[in-house]
Structure 1
């Protein structure tokens, strides 16, 4: 991890440069502030895609 990494804090909804918060409260690392800003959207999209894949397998 470098200090240039960005993390999304799920408690505050803020992006942190360098992980400053407890690991249980952050998502990342992300390569840019922009990518970290969209962390929840990316996670929702991945979860939805996985749920759809699971439904197709049943």
Structure 2
């Protein structure tokens, strides 16, 4: 069974009870995983932001505008 997190209601839903539309996140393998959907998304975003800061601090890993030109 798959589980979904409804961002409007804050409730975990199953395939049978899943709302239609773009207001659900998932699917997730467990009810617990679905209930932590927003926390997991926040943690991934923070990780990606940190990786972007590191990338930018290194100057885009040495890529210059000349490297991008054809």
TM-score normalised by the chain length of structure 1? 0.88
Segments of 4+ moved more than 2 angstroms: none
Secondary structure in structure 2 of the residue aligned to 1:24 = coil
Structure 1 residues 2-31: Cα deviation after superposition (integer angstroms, max 9, x where no partner) = xx1000000000000116212410000000
Measure the CA separation in 1 of the matches of 2:47 and 2:20.
28
Aligned residues: 55
TM-score normalised by the chain length of structure 2? 0.74
Pairwise mapping of residues 44-55 of structure 1 onto structure 2 (< 5 A)? 44-55=42-53
Structure 1 residues 23-58: Cα deviation after superposition (integer angstroms, max 9, x where no partner) = 410000000100000000000000000000001111
- Mark the structure with the bigger radius of gyration: 2
